[in-house]
Amino acid sequence: HPLVKVTIVPRGLAALGYAQYLPKEQYITRKEKLLDDICMTLGGRAAESVVFDKISTGAQSDLDHITKLSYDMIVNYGLNEKVGNISYYSMLNESYMRPFSEQTAYLIDQEVKAMIDEQYERAKALLREKRKELDALAKALLEKEVLHRRDLERIIGKRPFADPTPGESASVPEVEPSQRDDE
């Protein structure tokens, strides 16, 4: 789903900054898209590691999101070769007991960790490759605090893949400067 804006302005108690996307109109999602979402969500933490060689607690909500998504991919959607084409969704919701063995629980945990670790390494590699663009984006955010899609395209270029994907909105409205909520 297309990016509308990104900001470093804190929002509430939890978000130290955020990215806002157009709402998705997609109900079926490919595994590759979900992995891309995990990689993208890990971008902030990966940038900390690449730029400062340190990480902070700032990615807590991102980590919560991708951990849940990764478990859903494996436990509910059957998107893991080792666990297989099995969904425990209805069984998990119907009882207080886990519908799989300790061995399967361990395998699920290992596969979730491997999936997240792989996407984290992918995010760091992309940021190292695009370090010039990362630095330009950070500089622009420090200067303006809020960047909109047009600003992002000017700084880092257009998305390298076709937009929209099947099932998503065909039009991405541009927000004119007079309509922006730059507060």
What's the CATH code of the domain at 127?
1.20.58.760
Residue 180 lies in a domain: no
Answer yes or no: are the C-beta atoms of 104 and 88 closer than 8 Å.
no
Q: How confident is the model at residue 166 (pLDDT cuts 50, 70, 90)?
A: very low
Counted domains in the chain? 1
In a domain, 144, yes or no: yes
Confidence of residue 91 (pLDDT cuts 50, 70, 90): confident
Residue 175 lies in a domain: no
Mean pLDDT of the chain: 83
pLDDT tens sequence across 57-81: 999 999 999 999 999 999 999 999 9
pTM for the predicted model, two decimal places: 0.78
pLDDT tens-digit readout, 114-158: 999 999 999 999 999 999 999 999 999 999 999 998 998 999 888
d(CA 88, CA 158): 39
Residue 177, domain member (yes or no) = no
Domain-embedded: residue 96: yes
Quick one: DSSP state of residue 76? Answer: I
Predicted local confidence at residue 178, as pLDDT? 37
pLDDT value at position 116?
Answer: 99
Give pLDDT, residue 32. Answer: 96
Domain that holds residue 60: 3-170
